[in-house]
């Protein structure tokens, strides 16, 4: 935008910032100015952190997590329950589960879900390696922690079929009312699932 | 957040991203993952653009604009009308006016507005240099393009007083209905101003 008034360096910075998720052209300009104002405390350090990340981050060949070591910190962590594998769609889901502290096991990142619409087929996902890892005699249970969307559930069914011959316990996350959630705002499907899976009080 | 599961490099990247305007802790994690996924097309180039910006960007000692040259591109542009100085609060306002193409003059960035609440006093703003620049015999008009806020208007009055002895024409932006705006959504002050400044149709 300020093509003629600011140098090409600023323009390029704005263009690249606008490609970040959550930033549009207008907020990218605002972000660029803020960064320039905090040149020494934010712009410089952020540039360096990005350079290091770009240089060192690798995708774990075992589970698909991103880390600066190979295999990743989780795969190397011997204190985790080796009898379970938690299958997730994306690294962000892995991070979310780790924040919850709900499970201390290893993960398997599929790298997406099957989608006829987006042309995502089984060979595009990290399923082959999952079957390989699930064949380890130590593994007893596969937890399918996939999103409760149509594509997520289709993928859950496909993965279940691919693992069936191993005779493992395959589980999925419970459906129900989110903690802190109000019934009035929930869809019928969630409410039906919450009623079906009700428990003694 | 993913302190134990991702390397310190990723954690630091997320922390710095969270300090960018428009990004919170959650969106910073999402942004970090997107950047890592687009390592070669976005993360690397953005790191480099930021490094160059941090290295080369300077604040123009004449007008307060940010650029990679000193004096800035606008101050060096001989084709601009030298008889006018447009006074703005921030560089973002300068950029906004340049995008509009409404005026081809030089600017003066105050670097803020007077604010008793935030403790911003005249000596914190770039006013002394404005008086100096306005004393140039070539300058005939000062356009106060400050925000139509209480602080903006206070600052406009202060600047007017500081320039009074030079005997220049001092103007301010017109108030009225924004182009494309709907009356129903406008405040009473704007509507009153639009009625007062009505023009023949």
Residue B171: count of CB within 10 angstroms of its CB: 13
Give the mean model confidence (pLDDT) for residues B102-126. Answer: 93
Which tokens go with A148? 């409760």
* ipTM for the assembly: 0.78
Domain carrying residue A154: 80-172
Residue A38 has pLDDT above 80, yes or no: yes
Tell me: do A93 and A164 sit in the same domain. Answer: yes
Tell me: do B76 and B43 sit in the same domain. Answer: no
User: So what's the pLDDT on residue B104?
Assistant: 92
Contact B106, B74 (CB under 8 A): yes
Tell me: do B83 and B151 sit in the same domain. Answer: yes
Three-class SS of residue B67? strand
Residue B160 lies in a domain: yes
Residue B183 lies in a domain: no
- Indicate the length of chain A as a whole number: 201
Give the mean model confidence (pLDDT) for residues A60-81. Answer: 92
Residue B144: count of CB within 10 angstroms of its CB: 21
Rg (CA), chain B: 22
Tell me: do B45 and B138 sit in the same domain. Answer: no
Which residue is closest to A90 within chain B, CA to CA?
B33
pLDDT per residue over B42-89, tens digit each?
999 999 999 999 999 999 999 999 998 889 999 999 999 999 999 999
Tell me: do B102 and B45 sit in the same domain. Answer: no
Tell me: do A155 and A89 sit in the same domain. Answer: yes
Tell me: do A87 and A167 sit in the same domain. Answer: yes
Q: Which of B69, B36, B56 is nearest to A44 (CA)?
A: B56
Confidence of residue A2 (pLDDT cuts 50, 70, 90): very low
Residues of A in contact with B67 (CB under 8 A): 5-7, 10
Q: Do B95 and A48 touch (CB under 8 A)?
A: no
* Number of folded domains that form chain B: 2
Which residue is closest to B47 within chain A, CA to CA?
A47
Tell me: do B70 and B49 sit in the same domain. Answer: no
- The span from the CA of A86 to the CA of A102, in Å, is 11
Tell me: do A101 and A161 sit in the same domain. Answer: yes
Q: Which of A157, A66, A97, A196 is nearest to B35 (CA)?
A: A66
- Find the CATH number of the domain harbouring B76: 3.40.1360.10
DSSP assignment of A24-86 equals: -HHHHHHHHHHHHHTIIIIIHHHHHHHHHHHHH-EE-TTT--EESSSS-HHHH-TTSEEEEEE
Residue A125 lies in a domain: yes
- The span from the CA of B126 to the CA of B157, in Å, is 15
Tell me: do A89 and A45 sit in the same domain. Answer: no
pLDDT per residue over A130-163, tens digit each?
999 999 999 999 999 999 889 999 999 999 999 9
Tell me: do A40 and A84 sit in the same domain. Answer: no
Give the mean model confidence (pLDDT) for residues A50-67. Answer: 93
Tell me: do B45 and B112 sit in the same domain. Answer: no
Residue A163 lies in a domain: yes
User: So what's the pLDDT on residue B113?
Assistant: 94
Residues of B in contact with A27 (CB under 8 A): 21-22
């Amino acid at each position: 935008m300020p093509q003629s008034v600011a140098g090409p360096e600023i323009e390029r910075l704005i263009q690249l910032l606008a490609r970040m998720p959550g930033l549009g052209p207008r907020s990218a300009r605002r972000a660029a100015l803020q960064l320039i104002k905090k040149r020494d405390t934010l712009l410089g350090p952020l540039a360096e952190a990005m350079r290091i990340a770009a240089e060192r981050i690798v995708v774990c060949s075992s589970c698909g997590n991103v880390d600066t070591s190979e295999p990743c910190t989780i795969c190397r962590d011997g204190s985790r329950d080796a009898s379970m594998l938690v299958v997730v769609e994306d690294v962000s889901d892995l991070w979310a589960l780790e924040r919850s502290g709900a499970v201390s096991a290893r993960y398997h990142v599929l790298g997406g879900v099957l989608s006829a619409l987006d042309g995502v087929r089984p060979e595009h996902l990290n399923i082959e390696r999952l079957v390989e890892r699930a064949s380890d005699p130590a593994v007893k249970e596969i937890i399918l922690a996939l999103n409760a969307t149509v594509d997520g559930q289709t993928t859950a069914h496909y993965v279940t079929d691919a693992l069936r011959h191993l005779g493992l316990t395959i589980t999925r996350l419970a459906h129900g009312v989110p903690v802190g959630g109000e019934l009035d705002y929930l869809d019928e499907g969630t409410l039906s699932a919450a009623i079906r899976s009700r428990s003694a009080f």
